[in-house]
Copies of this chain bind each other. A is one copy, B any other.
Amino acid sequence: METSSSSMEEEAVNLRADGEEEHGHEPDPENNSLHEPLLRRSPTLTSNSMAMVGAKVSYIESLDYEINENDLFKHDWRSRSSVQVLQYVVLKWTLAFLVGLLTGVIASLINLAIENIAGLKMLLVAEYMTGFAYFTGANLGLTLVAAALCVQFAPTAAGPGIPEIKAYLNGVDTPNMFGVSTLIVKIIGSIAAVSAGLDLGKEGPLVHIGSCLAYLLGQGGSDKHKLKWRWLRYFKNDRDRRDLITCGASSGVCAAFRSPVGGVLFALEEIASWWRSALLWRTFFSTAVVVVVLRAFMEYCNSGRCGLFGRGGLILFDVSGVTVSYHAMDLLPVTVIGIIGGVLGGLYNHLLHKVLRIYSLINEKGRMAKLLLSLGVSLFTSVCLYSLPFLATCSPCDPSIDAACPTTGLTGNFKQFNCPDGYYNDLASLLHATNDDAVRNIFSTSTPTEFRPLSLLIFFALYCILGLFTFGIAVPSGLFLPIILMGSAYGRLLGLAMGSYTSIDQGLYAVLGAAALMAGSMRMTVSLCVIFLELTNNLSLLPITMLVLLISKTVGDGINPSIYDIILELKGLPFLDAKPEPWMRNLTVGELAAAKPSLVCLQGIEKVSRVVEVLKSTCHNGFPVVDQEVPSPVGMPLAVTELHGLVLRAHLITILKKKWFLTEKRRTQDWEVRERFTSVDLADKGDKIEELVLTEEEKEMYIDLHPFTNTTPYTVVETMSVAKAVVLFRQVALRHLLIVPKYQGAGISPVMGILTRQDLRAHNIINAFPHIAKRREEKGKSNES
C-alpha cells in the first residue's frame, strides 16, 4: 500500500506508451456472457454511443444542459425585453398546466376504456357457456392489437419507458422515445394490454405518456409535426425540455396512483438526475392539476354516465376506514415482511434480468417472433387465469360480513364461479377480475377467513411466473402492478401464518407486503412511502410502512442494483451515477485523456475544407477552438496560444448549410453574423454532414468560428481525479468537459483533452485501464483473507 501511488504512476506511463496495445485488448465474449450487457462494448475510451432503444440498437446522443454562451445566444439573451421574459415565464407555467391537464384527461380516458373493455369481456364470458374460448379469444385479440401496434409502428412504446426517461433526464437522448406515434401506440396499446388481462399495469406507461406529452408540448418532436409558434422558440433547448419532462413524469405517476405528492417525490427520488427548488414547485403544480382533473372525472362517472366504469380504475385501494393498532409485539412480523420483501425483490430483479436476456435473443429473430412471444404469454395467462380457480375448493359465505356473497357480476369480492349458491370460490375472486380489482380484493380488510392459504399460494406462484415472463413482451407494460400483486399475495400469506400472534389486519399485511416487494425491487423509500400513504388513505400505517421500506431496501441493496438500474445497464444506456466509484480517486483526467484518441482542435478562423474533413472523419459533437500565435496579452515578446472555447457539431453544420463563408482569413464583426444567424437557427439539430454539398471553391474559403464558440466551457486541470471530475460533470449537467494542462509555458497546448459522458462511465474506464480492475480484485481478496 505504501507505494501504490508511485506504482500507479508507472502503470499510467506504461499505458501511455502502450496505448495502442491496450486498445486492442478485447474481453472474452463467451466469458460470463449473461453478465455482460446486450451490446458488446468497445474496449477503448472512444465513445461508443450505441444502445438498445425499443428493440433495436440505435445511435444515441447526449443532451446539452449547459448554458451555451456564444455571441449569438448572449446577444439574444441580452436583447430580451421584460415582456419577452414575462412571456417565457407565463408560457412555462402554461405548459406545466397543460401537461397536467392532458395527462389527467388521458389517464381518465384510459381508465374508462379499460374498465369498459375488460368489463364487457367479463360479462360476455359469464353469459356464454363457452366461457373459456371467449375469454382466451378476447385476450388473444387484445394482446394482438397491442403487440402489433408496438411492433409495427413504435417499438419504443413497449415496456414501461421509465428507464429511458430516467436516462433522458440524466442527459441521454434516445431516439423516437417521445414521438407522436409512440404516444398514440402507448395509449392504445396500454388499454389493450391491460384489458387483455396480462400481468402488467398502466402505471409505467402513464409515466411515459406524461413525458411524451411534455416533450411534444415543448416542441421537441420531429420537424414535420412541429408548430412554428413564435413564443415557443425559448423552449427549443434541452434545459427547458428537461424541466417539462420532469413535470410530465410526475404527472404520470400522479395519474397512475392519484398521488400528487408521491408523484413529485417519485420524480425527485427515482427519475430526475438534477433538481432545483423551482422545479419542485412546478411539478407540484402539474400534479395538482392532474388530481383536480381525475377528481372531476370520477365525480362525473359516479353518476353512472361512464358505462361499465364502476368503482374501479382510479382509487386502487382505500383502507382509510380501518383503524390500525399495533404495538411493540408487531415489530417482529413487520421486520420479517421487510426482510422477505428485500430478498424476493432482489431475486425478482435477478431472474427478470435473465428472462430479458433470453427475450432479447427471441426478439432478434424479427417481428413475427415478437408477436408470437406476446401471444404465447397471453395464451398461457388466459389458461392459468381461467383454469386455476377449479383447483380451489368452495368456501361458504360468511353471513357476518356485509358484502354481497356470492357475486357473479364484474367486480365483487366473493365470486361464485363454479360454486353452489351460498358458496364462493376465493381464487376466482382474485383471478377472474381486472388486476386493479384483484388488488382491491386481496387488500380487503376485516375478512380474515376470506382467502385460504392454498389459494393464496397458487395466486402467488402464478403471479411470480407471470411477472417474470410478461414484462419483456412487446406491449406497453408497467412494473408496479405485477410487483404489487406478488407482494400483496405473500404479505397476506404471512398474515395468515401469523394467525392470532398479531393484531394487524391481514389486509394490511397484504399492503405491507406489496410495499416491501416494491422497495426490494425498485429501491425507493420516501416516494413509495408517500404513494402508499396516498393510495391507502390511512396515515396511521405510516410508521410501519416506513420501517418495512427501510428494511427491504437495505436487504435488496445488499443483493443487487435496483430493477431500473439493471434495465439501464442491460440496454447500454450511458447513465451517469451521482456517486463516483471509489477507485476513480486513483486516476486523473490526464491519464484518461492520454488513453483517448488524440484531440481534434479547430482554429478560431478555419478553412471550410478542414471543418468538413473534421466533421466527416470524427463523430465528436464538440471541438475546442484554439487561436494560435495571438499577440501576448501583457505585451511580452512571445506569441501565445489562446483557448477560445468549444464549438458544437450542430452549429458547425448550421454554418456550412447556410454557407456563411469568408473569402479571406479575418475576424468578423458582431453585425455580420447577426445579419445571417439568429439564436433560433442554432437551436436546430439533427442535420447530417453527409447531406451537404460544397463546391471546391467554397471549400477553399474560411469560417470565423468565434461568434459560434461557447466561450465559457467548464474545464478541469489534468491533475483532477476522475472522481471529482465525475461529480462536476454530473452536478453541473455537462456534455463536454475540457482538460487544461497544469503547466504554463510556450509550446504547450492550452487544452489537453475533452471528456464526455462515455469517458466517465466506470465500465468504459475499466475496459481501457485493465490494471484498475485487477487491483480492485486483489484488494477485495486481501480484505477477505
Contact = CB atoms under 8 A, between A and B. Distances in A.
Interface stretch (A70-78, A173-181, A422-430): A70-78
Given A69-B585, A642-B743, 7 more contacts: A1-B79, A67-B723, A81-B783, A291-B542, A534-B542, A645-B719, A717-B740
A727 B721 CA distance: 20
A276 B731 CA distance: 10
A543 interface: yes
Contact of A640 (B291, B644, B740, B744): B744
A314 interface: no
Given A5-B74, A723-B67, A745 B712 contact: no
Contacts of A529: 261, 284
Interface in A197-222: none
B717 A715 contact: yes
A48 interface: no
A576 B2 CA distance: 41
Contacts of A783: 81-83
B742 A546 contact: no
Interface stretch (A368-376, A630-638, A652-660): A630-638
A546 B638 contact: no
Contact of A638 (B288, B645, B746): B746
Contacts of A75: 5
Contact of A546 (B78, B260, B526, B547): B260
A578 B278 CA distance: 10
A603 interface: no
Interface stretch (A53-61, A125-133, A747-755): A747-755
Interface in A645-671: 645, 670-671
Report the copy number of this chain in the oligomer: 2
B636 A526 contact: no
Interface string A165-187: 00000000000000000000000
A432 interface: no
A288 B547 CA distance: 7
B537 A277 contact: no
Given A67-B723, A288-B550, A643-B744, A261 B526 contact: yes
Interface of A: 1-2, 4-6, 67, 69, 71, 74-75, 77-79, 81-83, 260-261, 264-265, 269, 275-278, 280-281, 284-285, 288, 291-292, 295, 320, 525-526, 529-530, 533-534, 537, 539, 542-543, 546-547, 550, 553, 578-579, 585-586, 588, 630, 632-634, 636, 638-645, 670-671, 711-717, 719-721, 723-724, 727-728, 731-732, 740-750, 780, 783
A743 B530 CA distance: 53
A320 B539 contact: yes
Contacts of A5: 71, 74-75, 78, 670
B642 A77 contact: no
A715 B740 contact: yes
Contact of A4 (B78, B579, B713, B743): B78
Contacts of A732: 727-728, 731-732
Contacts of A79: 1
A261 B542 contact: yes
A636 B747 contact: yes
Given A715-B740, A721-B69, A740-B740, A2 B641 contact: no
Query: Which 10 residue pairs spanning A and B have beta carbons closest together?
Result: A640-B745, A82-B783, A744-B750, A731-B731, A746-B746, A288-B546, A640-B743, A712-B720, A641-B744, A711-B719
Contact of A69 (B715, B724, B745): B724
Nearest to A722: B712
A150 B553 CA distance: 44
Contact of A292 (B269, B543, B712, B740): B543
B745 A550 contact: no
26 contacts: A1-B78, A5-B75, A6-B670, A82-B780, A82-B783, A269-B280, A277-B578, A280-B525, A284-B529, A284-B546, A292-B543, A295-B543, A320-B539, A539-B539, A630-B743, A632-B747, A640-B745, A645-B719, A712-B719, A713-B717, A715-B715, A715-B740, A727-B732, A728-B732, A731-B732, A745-B746
